[in-house]
Amino acid sequence: MGKDSKDTANSSLEQVSDIHCFGGRQLRYRHRATSLPCTMNFSLFLPPQAERAPVPIVYWLSGLTCTDENFVTKAGAQRVAAELGIALLAPDTSPRGEQVPDDPAAAYDLGLGAGFYVNATQAPWAEHYRMYDYVVDELPSLVASSFAEIDASRAAIMGHSMGGHGALMIALRNPSRYASASAFAPICAPSQCPWGIKAFTHYLGDDRSRWAQYDTCALIAGTEADIPMRVDQGEADQFLEEQLMPEKLVAALPPGYPLSFHRHAGYDHSYFFIASFIEQHLRFHDLYLKANP
């Protein structure tokens, strides 16, 4: 484990930890994020192949209440990523710090840990809650300028729950940036479920026409893109009917859209579900990352 500043274009990038894992390195960094603005952490797995040549990258977006560390400690993704030669980057789920506003009621579904991957426009959220810009622009630029081990031009994106919403939404809005996208138990129609309505009202205001740009169902219904997608959903998920609404996503698909949807009896919303099927997701992304060298 070390604490070193990386000599890059971003002088604020500081290594927090470096742990050997499946022949690769599980790293954690902190840096001053200009888009948010605050100090942010992210976790990065570099597979052993990165020592020989730049490798592609898959971004992981986590769900409500999570940080950058949940995925790397619970999903068991490093074994398969090391086999395939894929880097994995997991950012935090919201801005952090004393200056960053939080829900006064300390609810888990608004404020810290609940950034929803949007650019907030409403006070007091607008200055810091710009997770869309952070994920789409700032992090990829940081990767490209700071890590010669990664080929930032070969990227895919995936996530869980709120992060599944983020991954599918971001891919649909930026299809040229990602070879593929996938999600575990995503919030498919945030404009129509309690979690999304609460977050969008606070972050974006009452004008629901502004919400559509962050709603996967609205985006996919009108898209001309054909980015390959995979969605896995547990049928014992406690949030399935009220919050996730995958049937709305399936109904919104344009004819022939390349989305494969998989239901799994008995699985819930937890990381046990993610760990059970993370290998299939990484192999799905590997197929398209290799097809787009």
Is 94 within the bounds of a domain? yes
- In this structure, is the dihedral angle defined by the CA atoms of residues 285, 286, 292 and 293, taken in order, positive or negative? positive
Rounded distance, CA 61 to CA 161, Å? Answer: 9
Examine the residue annotation and report whether 11 is marked as an active-site residue of this protein. no
Is 1 within the bounds of a domain? no
Is 2 within the bounds of a domain? no
Rounded distance, CA 18 to CA 156, Å? Answer: 24
- Two tokens, residue 117: 């991957």
CATH code assigned at 185 = 3.40.50.1820
Is 156 within the bounds of a domain? yes
Active-site option among 269, 281, 285, 286:
269
The whole domain housing 47 covers 14-291
Closest C-alpha among 35, 33, 92 to residue 59: 92
Is 9 within the bounds of a domain? no
Report the run of H or E that residue 25 belongs to, with start and end.
Answer: strand 24-33
Each of the 293 residues of the chain gets a pLDDT tens digit; together they read 344 545 445 568 999 999 999 999 999 999 999 999 999 999 999 999 999 999 999 999 999 999 999 999 999 999 999 999 999 999 999 999 999 999 999 999 999 999 999 999 999 999 999 999 999 999 999 999 999 999 999 999 999 999 999 999 999 999 999 999 999 999 999 999 999 999 999 999 999 999 999 999 999 999 988 999 999 999 999 999 999 999 999 999 999 999 999 999 999 999 999 999 999 999 999 999 987 66
Is 266 within the bounds of a domain? yes
Is 203 within the bounds of a domain? yes
Is 117 within the bounds of a domain? yes
Give the model's pLDDT for residue 2: 40
Examine the residue annotation and report whether 286 is marked as an active-site residue of this protein. no
Q: Per the structure, how many domains does the chain have? A: 1
Active-site option among 35, 161, 180, 182:
161
Give the model's pLDDT for residue 106: 92
Whole-structure pTM value: 0.95
Examine the residue annotation and report whether 165 is marked as an active-site residue of this protein. no
